Amino acid sequence: MLSVTETREIIFSADLLNKMGEVVSHFPDGKQKSALLPILHDVQAEFGWVSPEAMDKVADFLEIEPIEVYEVATFYSMFFLRPQGKFVLEVCRTGPCCLVGAEKIISYIGEKLGVKEGQVTADGLFSYRGVECLAACGYAPVLQIGPEYTFYENLTTESVDQLIEELKNKN
Amino acid sequence: MGRKLLLEHINVPGINTLKVYREKGGYKALEKAIKTMSSDDLVEEVKKSGLRGRGGAGFPTGMKWSFLAKPEGVARYLVCNADESEPGTFKDRYLMTYIPHALIEGMIVSSFALGANTSYIYVRGEMMPQIRILEKAIAEAKEAGFLGKNILGSGYDLELYVQPGGGAYICGEETALLESLEGKRGNPRIKPPFPAIAGLYGCPTVVNNVESIAAIVPIINMGGDEYAKIGVGRSTGTKLISASGNINKPGVYEIELGLSVEDFIYSDDYCGGIANGKRLKAVVAGGSSVPILPANLILNLANGEKRLMSYESLSEGGFITGTMLGSGGFVVLDEDQSVVRNTWNFARFYSHESCGQCSPCREGTGWMEKVLHRLVNGKGKMSDMDLLVDVAKKIEGNTICPLGDAAAWPVASAIRHFRDEFEWYVNNPELSQKQNYGLAHYADPLPVLETVE
Ligand SMILES: Cc1cc2nc3c(=O)[nH]c(=O)nc-3n(C[C@H](O)[C@H](O)[C@H](O)COP(=O)(O)O)c2cc1C
Ligand code: SF4
Ligand code: FES
CATH number, domain of B304, equals 3.10.20.600
Contacts of A19 (CB under 8 A, 6+ apart): A39, A42
| Residue B444 DSSP label | S
Domain shared by B271 and B418, yes or no: no
Which residues on B lie below 8 Å from A28 (Cβ)?
A: 75, 118, 201
**CATH number of the structural domain spanning residue B424:** 1.20.1440.230
Handedness of CA B258, A138, B405, B182 (dihedral sign): negative
How many Cα atoms within 13 Å fall on the side-chain side of residue B354?
Answer: 27
Minimal-distance CA residue to ligand 1 atom 23: B208
Pair B384, B370: CB distance under 8 Å: no
Residue B449 counted as domain residue: no
Full-model pTM: 0.97
- Flag whether B440 is in a domain: no
pLDDT (tens digit per residue) in A144-163: 999 999 999 999 999 999 99
Mutate to test the pocket of ligand 2, among B177, B350, B403 (most ligand atoms within 8 A of CB): B403
| H-helix or E-strand spanning residue B292 | strand B292-294
- Residue whose CA is closest, atom 20 of ligand 1? B55
Cβ of B126 and A71 within 8 Å? no
The pLDDT score that the predictor gives to residue B351 is: 97
Query: pLDDT tens, A62-113?
Result: 999 999 999 999 999 999 999 999 999 999 999 999 999 999 999 999 999 9
Q: Tell me which of B81, B90, B147, B352 to substitute to probe the interface with A (most A C-beta atoms closer than 10 Å).
A: B90
Helices A66-75, A52-62: inter-axial angle, 10-degree rounding: 120
The strand order across the sheet containing B292-294 reads B251-256, B238-245, B329-334, B280-284, B292-294
Q: Please tell me the distance in Å from B337's CA to the nearest CA on chain A.
A: 7
Between vectors from CA B125 to CA B196 and to CA A149, what angle results, nearest 5°? 160
| Among B345, B352, B354, B377, the residue to mutate for chain A (most A Cβ within 10 A) | B345
Q: Mean pLDDT for each 10-residue chunk of chain B (453 residues)?
A: 92 97 98 97 98 96 97 96 98 98 98 98 98 98 97 97 98 98 98 97 98 98 98 96 98 98 98 97 97 97 94 95 97 98 98 97 98 98 98 95 96 97 98 95 82 63
User: Ligand 2: which of B171, B355, B359, B395 to mutate, most ligand atoms within 8 Å of CB?
Assistant: B355
Between strands B292-294 and B280-284, the pairing is antiparallel
Secondary structure (DSSP) of B369-388? HHHHHHHHTT---TTHHHHH
Contact in structure between B211 and B240 (CB atoms under 8 Å): yes
Q: CA–CA separation, B418 vs A138, rounded Å?
A: 25
CATH code, A54: 1.10.10
Q: pLDDT value at position A5?
A: 80
**What's the CA dihedral at B131, A72, B167, A82 to 10 degrees?**
100
B215/B316 same-domain check: no
The DSSP code for B170 is G
Total Cβ atoms within 10 A of residue B339: 23
The reply to whether B141 and B154 lie within a common domain is yes
* A98 lies in the same domain as A160: yes
Q: What is the CATH number of the domain that holds B169?
A: 3.40.50.11540
Tell me the pLDDT band of A8, cut-offs 50, 70 and 90: confident
In which domain, by residue range, is A20 found? Answer: 14-75
Do B220 and B236 fall within a single domain? Answer: no
User: CB-based contacts of B352: which residues, under 8 Å, 6+ apart?
Assistant: A132
Chain centre to alpha carbon of residue B331: 13
Residue A4 falls within a domain, yes or no? no
C-alpha distances in Å from residue B226, one per residue of A83, A155, B218, B241: 56, 43, 10, 22
Question: Is there a domain that residue B12 lies in?
Answer: no
Q: Domain residues for B175?
A: 18-229
CA torsion sign, B351 to B352 to B355 to B356? positive
Residue A9 lies in a domain: no
| Domain shared by B193 and B323, yes or no | no
DSSP bridge pairs for B78: B119, B206
Measured in Å, residue A113 CA sits from the centre of ligand 3 at: 23
What is the C-alpha to C-alpha distance for residues A11 and B128, in angstroms, rounded to an integer?
Answer: 25
Question: Is A96 in contact with B87 (Cβ distance < 8 A)?
Answer: yes
Residues B103 and B202 in one domain: yes
Residue B166, φ and ψ in degrees, nearest 5 = -125, 10
pLDDT reported for residue A4: 82
Of B213, B229, B245, at which residue does a domain stop?
A: B229
Q: How many domains does chain A have?
A: 2
Spatial distance between the Cα atoms of B214 and B102, rounded to a whole number of angstroms? 5
Domain assignment present for residue B183? The answer is yes
Q: Does B292 share its domain with B411?
A: no
Least confident stretch, A5-14, A52-61, B136-145: A5-14
CB contact under 8 A, B250 and A140: yes
| B238-245 and B235-236 beta bridge pairing | unpaired
Give yes or no: residues A106 and A39 share one domain. Answer: no
B380 domain residue, yes or no:
yes
Nearest by Cα to B206 from B34, B414, B55? B55
Is residue A64 located within the same domain as residue A134? no
Say whether both A43 and A96 belong to one domain.
Answer: no
> A126 falls in which pLDDT band (50, 70, 90)?
very high
φ and ψ at residue B35, rounded to 5 degrees: -90, -25
Judge whether B279 and B439 are in contact, CB under 8 Å. Answer: yes
Among the candidates A33, A53, A75, a domain finishes at A75
For residues B365 and B429, membership in a common domain is answered with yes
Asked whether the beta carbons of residue A131 and residue B88 sit closer than 8 angstroms, the reply is no
* Pair B155, B169 in one domain: yes
Q: Is A152 within a domain? A: yes
Helices of type H across B182-281: 210-222, 224-229, 261-266
Q: What is the DSSP string of B300-343?
A: B-TTSPBPBSSHHHHHTTHHHH----TT-EEEEEETTS-HHHHH
Secondary structure element (H or E) that encloses residue B40, with its range:
helix B39-49
Query: Which listed ligand is nearest to A100 at the C-alpha?
Result: 3
Do B170 and B43 lie in one domain? The reply is yes
Three-state secondary-structure class, residue A150: strand
Q: Is residue B5 part of a domain?
A: no
Residue B87 has its nearest CB partner, among A36, A37, A137, at A137
Would the ipTM clear 0.95, i.e. be above it? yes
The candidate with the shortest Cα–Cα distance to B164, out of B133, B143, B191, B198, is B133
Number of independent structural domains in chain B? 3
Does residue B439 lie within any of the structural domains? Answer: no
pLDDT recorded at residue B449: 64
| Residue A117 resides in a domain | yes
Do A65 and A139 fall into the same domain? no
